[in-house]
């Protein structure tokens, strides 16, 4: 790219285009990006910043919180509460919604996030990230309640993630394709490094936690088993496997070079729909993947069409290169 385009300029240009982002949404995305820069700094300091290790508490899902989970959550709240663009926020690390305090003006947007995804990788210096989803508060009611958040993923007005890896990379959609920005640390700004990310429809790479194999359902077992048979099997080609255990990093690889990512329902806890959360993990990632030409389902249904019934709802996730996702989905409903 000959001329450097900053995130600010990209968003201003998106705002100017007819029917694209309003100024309040532009402000919101800039603020989220600023918060991600500051989370990136904390992540980079690691042990030197005293940010590693557990915080000695659990979140609403019963998971042990790491110090960085809590720091990232606070950074996102503090950055976003005063600007007047938001009505409320919801996070993996908070039981209920966080309504913008009365001392600040209330805006019309709702922000959901997983402040630090891939928590098990924090202390071992492997890529982690922030995932976010933006909805509009339903019109007509003056206050804001948890039920206002319960909108299907197809209602999102913006979604993205920031991956803190060898580079800090922000990936974003406002419904007009997927753009990638890389943090220039000297300048302190995100610079557009890929404008229209597309992932191939076919792939020879899958991502799944193989240690759960014995708990999977038949369609998932069949799909992976066929991949493992390689050239000699029904697929007639060899497959490679990657599993980073940070959804942000796995999805980033898939957006970059294709692949299929699965965290399916399994028999360990049959009453749970899956491990990942619908509203702030699966929905934003599914929209990004679809915007880049891929697909995302829970095996039976397009993820973006699922009507959530609660904030921390879980979902089975199959996303990535279109033809592979369609194949796994077909295996769930054999003729």
Catalog residues that contact ligand AHM under the rule CB under 6 A.
63, 92, 114, 117-120, 209, 245-247, 263
Q: Tokens 């993990």 appear where? A: 281
Residue of closest CB approach to ligand AHM? 247
Q: Are 239 and 192 in contact (CB under 8 A)?
A: no
Decide which of ligand AHM, Mg ion, none touches 263; Cβ closer than 5 to 8 Å per partner kind.
Answer: ligand AHM
Compute CA distances 194 → 27, 37, 129, whole Å. Answer: 22, 19, 19
Decide which of ligand AHM, Mg ion, none touches 209; Cβ closer than 5 to 8 Å per partner kind.
Answer: ligand AHM
* Lookup: tokens for 104: 């600040």
Sites of contact with Mg ion (CB under 5 A): 114, 117
* CA 43-44-48 angle, 5° bins: 95
Nearest CA to 299 among 266, 326, 275, 271? 326
**Residue 14 or 73 with smaller CB distance to ligand AHM:** 73
The burial of 123, by beta-carbon neighbours within 10 Å (0-12 exposed, 13-18 middle, 19 or more buried), is given as middle
Decide which of ligand AHM, Mg ion, none touches 63; Cβ closer than 5 to 8 Å per partner kind.
Answer: ligand AHM
> From the CB of 274, what's the least distance to ligand AHM, in Å?
10
> From the CB of 276, what's the least distance to Mg ion, in Å?
7
Rounded-to-integer distance, Cα 267 and Cα 200, Å: 32
> From the CB of 58, what's the least distance to ligand AHM, in Å?
11
**Residue 85 or 277 with smaller CB distance to ligand AHM:** 277
Nearest CA to 137 among 89, 174, 93, 95? 89
> From the CB of 61, what's the least distance to ligand AHM, in Å?
8
> From the CB of 117, what's the least distance to Mg ion, in Å?
4
**Residue 157 or 245 with smaller CB distance to ligand AHM:** 245
> From the CB of 70, what's the least distance to ligand AHM, in Å?
13
Rounded-to-integer distance, Cα 159 and Cα 285, Å: 8
**Residue 10 or 161 with smaller CB distance to ligand AHM:** 161
Decide which of Mg ion, ligand AHM, none touches 187; Cβ closer than 5 to 8 Å per partner kind.
Answer: none
Decide which of Mg ion, ligand AHM, none touches 27; Cβ closer than 5 to 8 Å per partner kind.
Answer: none
Instruction: For 292, list phi and psi in degrees, rounded to 5.
Output: -95, 10
**Residue 107 or 258 with smaller CB distance to ligand AHM:** 258
Give first-to-last CA distance, the chain, whole Å.
48
DSSP character for 217? -
**Residue 26 or 275 with smaller CB distance to ligand AHM:** 275
Q: Are 62 and 68 in contact (CB under 8 A)?
A: no
Decide which of ligand AHM, Mg ion, none touches 245; Cβ closer than 5 to 8 Å per partner kind.
Answer: ligand AHM
């Amino acid at each position: 790219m000959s001329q450097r385009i900053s995130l600010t300029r990209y968003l201003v240009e998106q705002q100017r285009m007819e029917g694209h982002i309003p100024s309040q949404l532009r402000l919101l995305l800039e603020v989220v990006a600023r918060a991600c820069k500051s989370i990136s700094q904390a992540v980079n300091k690691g042990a030197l910043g005293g940010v590693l290790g557990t915080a000695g508490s659990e979140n609403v899902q019963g998971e042990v919180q790491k110090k960085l989970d809590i720091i990232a959550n606070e950074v996102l709240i503090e950055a976003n509460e005063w600007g007047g663009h938001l009505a409320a926020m919801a996070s993996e690390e908070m039981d209920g919604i966080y309504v913008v305090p009365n001392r600040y003006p209330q805006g019309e947007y709702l922000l959901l996030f997983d402040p630090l995804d891939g928590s098990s990788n924090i202390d071992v210096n492997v890529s982690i990230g922030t995932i976010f989803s933006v909805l509009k508060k339903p019109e007509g009611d003056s206050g804001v309640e948890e039920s206002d958040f319960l909108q299907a993923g197809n209602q999102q007005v913006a979604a993205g993630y920031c991956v803190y890896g060898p580079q800090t990379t922000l990936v974003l959609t406002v419904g007009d394709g997927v753009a990638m920005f890389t943090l220039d640390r000297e300048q302190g700004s995100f610079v557009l490094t890929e404008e229209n990310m597309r992932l191939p429809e076919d792939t020879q790479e899958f991502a799944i936690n193989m240690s759960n194999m014995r708990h999977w359902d038949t369609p998932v077992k069949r799909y992976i088993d066929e991949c493992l048979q390689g050239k000699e099997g029904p697929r007639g080609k060899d497959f490679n496997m990657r599993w980073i255990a940070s959804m942000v990093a796995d999805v980033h690889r898939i957006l970059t070079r294709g692949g299929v990512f699965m965290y399916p329902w399994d028999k360990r806890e049959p009453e749970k729909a899956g491990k990942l959360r619908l509203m702030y993990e699966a929905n934003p990632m599914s929209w990004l993947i679809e915007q880049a030409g891929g697909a995302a389902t829970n095996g039976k249904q397009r993820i973006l069409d699922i009507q959530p019934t609660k904030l921390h709802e879980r979902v089975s996730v199959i996303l990535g290169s279109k033809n592979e996702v369609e194949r796994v989905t077909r295996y769930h409903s054999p003729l």
